[in-house]
Each structure stands twice: as structure tokens, then as C-alpha cells.
Amino acid sequence: MKWFAPVLAILALSACATPARLHSEDELNIVAKGCGLALGELVQDESEKKLLLLIRSRPTFEQRLCVAKWARRNGLKTVFLAIDFPQEPAT
């Protein structure tokens, strides 16, 4: 029974080291719509699967919180990109 504790510890640690899953565009769009965002404002890069990017000019606190909670539940780190889109020229 001396081997039981080390085996249990290794199994517990290996559960934490699961690789990030690449979510489909459809999955991310469902989350975006559920958080009050537009389609395409949530992006997960193939090369950095652990990062969930929120690309929006001025997301509300509730939108950021909604995305961050979903990302945390799915083992992802949220990155908020504050982008100021140029205004349309007045004609």
C-alpha cells in the first residue's frame, strides 16, 4: 500500500495538465451571443490554444465577466484586446 499515495498524486497532477481543446467557430459564436457579443468577437488561435481572445471596442464589465467565466470553466486564459475602430468619415 506504500505505492498508493504516489500513484494517487501523479493521477491528480496529470488531470491538471490536460491540453487545451480548440473550440470550433460555432461554439465560440454561441458563447459570444450568450455574452452579448457579436459573431467573430471571440477567437481562439490554433497556435495558442490556451488563449481566448475577446476583440471588441468597449466591452462592458458584464461581457468581460461572462467570457472570463466561460474561459475559466474550459481551461482557457482570457485576453481582452481593446481596439478603437476608426470612425466613418462624415459626408
3-class secondary structure, 5: helix
Indicate the burial class of 18 (C-beta count within 10 angstroms; 0-12, 13-18, 19 or more).
exposed
Percent of the chain beyond pLDDT 90?
57
Q: Is the pTM of this model over 0.75?
A: no
pLDDT digits (tens, 9 = 90+) for 50-68: 999 999 988 999 999 999 9
Spans of all domains in the chain: 20-82
